[in-house]
A and B are shown apart, each in its own frame.
Chain A
C-alpha cells in the first residue's frame, strides 16, 4: 500500500483515495476543434516516469488535490513523501 499525502489530512493509505487522472488543461469550448477535443477526452501521456495527477480523498476530506508521482517507483514528490 502506498501512502498518499493529502494536503488536508496528512499521509493516508491509498485505499482511501480515488485516482482521478493526469492533470490536463481543458481546451476552450468556444474555439476547440473536434481533433483537439478528441485528444482532450481520450489521449493520455501515460509516462513511465514523473507525472502530475489529480486524486480524490473519497474516504476522508472528500476534496480533490494534485500531486507528482513516479509511475515506475510510486515515489511521490510534492507534499510529504509517500512510501
Chain B
C-alpha cells in the first residue's frame, strides 16, 4: 500500500485520522510517502524558487484555488531548510500600518483553520502575545498600534504592569531593574505553531495535487529574452517556463540578480536559541523591543529565544558567543528565576531586510519574474497569505489589493510601508 493511486493516476495521500491510524496499526501496512521525488520535466507552467513555507504555500494555493498544477518548486537544499525551519514560530497580526495589519490578519485567519484544511496537525497554539514597553516612547507606539489594530478589527490593547504580571507571573515587573516594565501591548489572538509541520503540510497537500517538489536542485541562472522570462537553468537541467516566482529568503538578491532585477535588500543573520524542556510555566509569547528579545515556551516545554538581527550583513549561519551572552543577560533581566536553565542549542537564519521593514511582493520590470521576498524577521507568520496572494497573481495576472501596497515600485514612488516600530525587535 506504499502508493495509492486514484483513477487519474495521481497519488492520493493517506487521510490522517484516528480511524486510519487504528487500521494501519492493526494491519501494519506502511504509510504512503508524504511527497514524491520526480524527474525534472523540460518545461513547467510555473517555476517557484524556494521550498519554504512561502514557495510551498504558493504552489498549494495555485493547485487548490486555481487548478494550476503544472508547477515545479525548486530548492537547493531541503523542504523548510531555510528561514521556514529556523524562525521562532510566533504568529501575530498587531502591526503598525493598516496595510500591514490587514495583511497579517488574513494570514492568522488562514493559520487558524490550517490543520483542518491540510489534514495535518500544525499545532497552532493561540496563547496571547505580549509586547513589553520599557520606555514612554515605546508605550506611545503601543497605544498607536492598539488603535490601528482596533480599527482593523484586530484584538489588541495596552495593559499595565499588574495585568502583565497576571498573564506572565514569572516576569519581573518591579522597578529595580535597568528597564522596568511600564506596560505592554496585549494581543490575545497571537500564538505559536510548529513550523516544520506547516512546511510539511503544504508540501504534502501540493504534492498530492500534482505539484513537483524538487529538493537538491539549485537554480544557476534565469534566461530573460525580449523582456520576459524564458528559461531557468538548474543543477539538474534546464526548464522552459513563462513564470518564475522568487520565494527565497536570504538569497533573494542572488536569484533576482540572475534575472537582472535589483532589489533594495540587505541580508543579515538572525540568531535564536532554545533551552532544555521544563514544565509549562510561560503561557504567553513575551516580546521586548528594548531588550532585543522574544521568548515563548513550546508544547515540549523548551523556551525558544529570538533576538534582533546581527549588526552587520552576512550570509553566515554560524552562531556566536556574544549573541548568547547578550541574550542571557536580557532574558534574565525579564525572568531572573530561569537562571539555572541550560541552553540546548543555538542557530542562525538569514533575514532579507528592506528599508521600510515591509516585504516586497508582486511584479518586477521583467515580465514573468515575480517576487515574494524581503521577509526580514517576519516571514513565517505571513506564509499562508502571501502564498494565497501570489497564487492569485500568477493565475489571474492581477495584483490582489491586499498586497498592492507591498510592490517593488513603492521605493521609486516614495510610498513606503513603514513597519519599523512593529516588525520585530531592537531596530
Which of A39, A45, A71 is close to B314, meaning CB atoms less than 8 Å apart?
Answer: A71
Interface segment among B93-101, B215-223, B227-235, B315-323: the answer is B315-323
Q: Which of B279-315 contact A (CB under 8 A)?
A: 311-315
Q: Are B312 and A46 within 8 A (Cβ)?
A: no
Q: Is B260 among interface residues, defined by CB-CB distance under 8 A?
A: no
Point out the residues of chain B lying under 8 angstroms from A38, CB to CB.
Answer: 411-412
Alpha-carbon gap, A21 to B311, bound state (A): 11
Contact flag A44-B264 (CB < 8 Å), given A1-B322, A34-B412, A38-B412 = yes
Say yes or no for B124: interface residue by CB 8 A criterion. Answer: no
Q: How far is the CA of A47 from the CA of B311 in the complex (A)?
A: 17
Contact with A along B316-346 (1 / 0, CB 8 A): 1000111000000000000000000000000
Main secondary structure of the interface of B (DSSP, over half): loop
Q: Spell out A's residues near B (CB within 8 Å).
A: 1, 14-15, 18-19, 21, 34-35, 38-39, 41-48, 71-74
Q: Within B248-278, which residues are at the interface with A (CB < 8 Å)?
A: 251, 253-254, 257, 262-267
Residue of A14, A41, A42, A72 most packed against chain B (CB within 10 A): A42
Whether the Cβ atoms of A19 and B313 lie closer than 8 Å is yes
Given contacts A1-B321, A38-B412, A74-B316, contact A43 B263 (CB under 8 A): yes
Can you sample 14 A-B contacts with CB below 8 Å?
A1-B320, A15-B322, A38-B411, A42-B411, A43-B262, A43-B264, A44-B265, A46-B253, A46-B263, A46-B265, A48-B251, A72-B316, A73-B316, A74-B314
Which residues from B are CB-within-8-Å of A46?
253, 263, 265-267, 313
Which residues of B approach A to under 8 Å, CB–CB? Answer: 251, 253-254, 257, 262-267, 311-316, 320-322, 355, 411-412
Contact A39 B262 (CB under 8 A): yes
What's the Cα separation between A74 and B315 when bound, in Å? 9
- For residue B262, which residues in chain A have a CB less than 8 angstroms away from its CB? 39, 43
Which A residues are in CB contact (< 8 Å) with B355? Answer: 42
Q: How many A-B residue pairs have CB under 8 A?
A: 54
Interface centre among B254, B262, B312, B355 (most CB of A within 10 A): B312
- Complex CA distance for A45 and B254, rounded to whole angstroms: 9
Q: How far is the CA of A9 from the CA of B327 in the complex (A)?
A: 29
| Cβ of A5 to closest chain B Cβ, rounded Å | 14
Give Cα A35 to B411, complex, Å. 10
Chain A residue nearest to B317 in the complex (CB): A72
Q: Which residues of B contact A15 (CB under 8 A)?
A: 311, 322
State A80–B148 Cα separation when bound (angstroms).
Answer: 51
Q: Pick the 9 closest A-B CB pairs, nearest first.
A: A42-B264, A19-B312, A43-B262, A46-B253, A72-B315, A48-B315, A38-B412, A42-B411, A71-B315
A74–B272 CA distance with the chains assembled, in angstroms: 20
The residue in chain A whose Cβ has the minimal distance to the Cβ of B253 is A46
User: Min CB distance, B290 to chain A, in Å?
Assistant: 19
Task: Quote the shortest CB–CB distance from B414 to chain A (angstroms).
Answer: 9
In the complex, what distance in Å separates the CA atom of A41 from the CA atom of B356?
12
| A72 to B269 Cα, complex, angstroms | 11
Nearest residue in A to B312 (C-beta to C-beta)? A19
**Complex contacts, A47 vs chain B, CB 8 Å:** 253-254
Query: A35 to B314, Cβ gap below 8 A?
Result: no
16 new A-B contacts at CB < 8 Å, known A43-B263, A71-B316:
A15-B311, A19-B311, A19-B312, A21-B266, A35-B412, A42-B411, A44-B264, A45-B253, A46-B263, A46-B265, A46-B266, A48-B315, A71-B267, A72-B315, A73-B316, A74-B314
